[in-house]
A = this chain, B = another copy of it.
Amino acid sequence: MTDEVRIIAEDREHGASELARCALTLLAERAQTSSAATYADLITELNILAEDLRQSRPSMAPLQNLVGRWQSLLSGLPQDEVASLRSKIRVLTQQLQDHSRQAVTAVAQQAAELVGINATIMTHSLSSTVVAAFKVLKGQDVNAIVTESRPLQEGYKLAKQLSESGIPTTLITDAQMGLFVGKAKAVLVGADTLLGDGAVLNKAGTLLLALAARHYNIPFYVASETFKQVPTLTAQAHLEEETPKELTLEPLPGITIRNIYFDITPPDLVSAYITEKGIYYQPDRLPFFTVGEC
């Protein structure tokens, strides 16, 4: 495993989009530092790394899609000297990352408009798109209710980011979701992956929050850039499982500790999908991401 692959495989801190942009940076850096002397060698080396990066987190759609698009753009570069190629790769990587960041900004702005001012918004897990939406609403009487999102205190990190931005934040255990969702004007979550049937693959616990929101008749919004879409359907979706050590519970004979990272929220629990291309109330209306698109 190369250093680059290890960084992506072992990261538990960043949201899926941030991690995908990080993977692009690693690819661009490899293009600069590679000892490849010819166009063919450099392209081959970069494609191998790109595939390894994608395989290190197979269920992270933005990683699949952004790295896939990067490979597609790479294959379109004219055959040129390595020095010129390096410079073009730097530019195309920057453009793709900008495009991804602009999508996040567009989603955040639409999410903020949909939820409106003077709102208490509840969320689960750490989504950079949701953070961006909170920042758009800052100063407009917005409050946050944030779940702990076990393991690894993702929710604590989110609460820290929000409170440092001046947004009053309530932090609860995941088990208290049902006690607090009724106090929110809306639930706003990100997505690690949007499945082909509109189901939302996101940090474990998202399904519980969606069920609780429906129980209390609170809208459940999913903020997701289109490059989080994959054609995979719910029945075929793979859910990554991480080491039980992350739960920091002492192992005991006879006890199997499980740590499945993601759950799947079916589309009928989603009130609206907020994408950079608009807001969609029906999953079959979602515009599909294609690798070649720019």
Residues of A within 8 A of B (CB): 147-151, 153, 156, 159-160, 162-164, 166-180, 203-205, 207-208, 211-212, 215, 239, 247, 249, 252-260, 263
A254 touches B168 (CB 8 A): yes
Q: A163-B253, A179-B204, A179-B239 are in contact. Are A172 and B258 (CB under 8 A)?
A: yes
Q: A163-B253, A207-B212, A252-B163 are in contact. Are A174 and B150 (CB under 8 A)?
A: yes
A258 touches B171 (CB 8 A): yes
Name which residue of chain B comes closest to A145, CB basis: B258
A-B contact pairs, 25 of them (CB 8 A): A147-B175, A150-B173, A153-B249, A160-B255, A162-B254, A163-B253, A163-B254, A167-B254, A168-B254, A170-B258, A171-B249, A171-B256, A172-B257, A172-B258, A173-B204, A174-B175, A174-B205, A175-B203, A175-B208, A176-B259, A176-B263, A178-B208, A179-B204, A179-B239, A179-B260
Q: A153-B249, A205-B178 are in contact. Are A169 and B211 (CB under 8 A)?
A: no
As for how many copies of this chain the complex holds, the number is: 2
Chain B residues closer than 8 Å to A149, beta-carbon distance: 175
Chain B residues closer than 8 Å to A164, beta-carbon distance: 254
Chain B residues closer than 8 Å to A171, beta-carbon distance: 249, 255-258
Chain B residues closer than 8 Å to A215, beta-carbon distance: 207, 211
Instruction: Give the one of A162, A169, A175, A258 with max B CB within 10 A.
Output: A175
> Could you tell me the distance in whole angstroms from the C-beta of A33 to the nearest C-beta in chain B?
39
B173 touches A173 (CB 8 A): no
Assembly CA distance A66 to B166 (angstroms): 49
Chain B residues closer than 8 Å to A254, beta-carbon distance: 162-164, 166-169
Instruction: Give the one of A179, A180, A212 with max B CB within 10 A.
Output: A179
Assembly CA distance A239 to B179 (angstroms): 10
Chain B residues closer than 8 Å to A204, beta-carbon distance: 173, 175-176, 178-179
Chain B residues closer than 8 Å to A258, beta-carbon distance: 170-172, 176, 180
Chain B residues closer than 8 Å to A255, beta-carbon distance: 159-160, 163, 169-171
